[in-house]
Amino acid sequence: MDKIFLQGMKFYAYHGVFEEENKLGQIFVVDVQLSLDLTEASETDELETTVNYGEAYHLIEEEMKESSKLLEHVAGRIAKSLFAHYNRVVALSVRITKENPPIAGHYDGVGIEINRTR
């Protein structure tokens, strides 16, 4: 299966179970991979035969703006939105990383990844 990816998108948002996370917000890093057949796009060179990266970015951005307690919930909304807008996409993964959660310790980030198939 062919893939399109949007990698390292950064959004300032308000997600978390702790009150300070919802007041202060933080940066989240989002990676999305879309699985679809890109044969037609590779042969025709026409945008309507693939996924418009800019449009997909804005769909993801809209979901990141809506506050949630759980990153799982945010990722689920992103998946539903992308499936609703792109019939060509047959599977996808959404990875959201919180680089500075309110957890004592040393790490590069914590987060979730969901994988969905139509």
The pLDDT of residue 101: 82
DSSP class per residue in 27-42: EEEEEEEEEE--HHHH
- Determine if residue 91 is left, alpha or beta; phi over 0 gives left, psi from -120 to 50 gives alpha, anything else beta: beta
Specify whether the backbone of 17 is left (phi greater than 0), alpha (psi in -120 to 50) or beta: alpha
pLDDT in tens, 58-111: 999 999 999 999 999 999 999 999 999 999 999 999 999 999 888 888 888 999
Amino acid 111: pLDDT: 96
* 2-117 under CATH 3.40.50.2020, yes or no: no
The model's pLDDT over 34-55, given as tens digits with 9 standing for 90+, comes to 999 999 999 999 999 999 999 9
Coil, strand or helix at 45: coil
Q: Which residues are catalytically annotated?
A: 98
Q: Which residues partner with 84 through β-bridges?
A: none
DSSP string, 79-102: HHHHHHH-TT--EEEEEEEESS-S
Determine the residue type at 41: A
Question: Quick one: average pLDDT of 5-34?
Answer: 95
pLDDT at position 100: 83
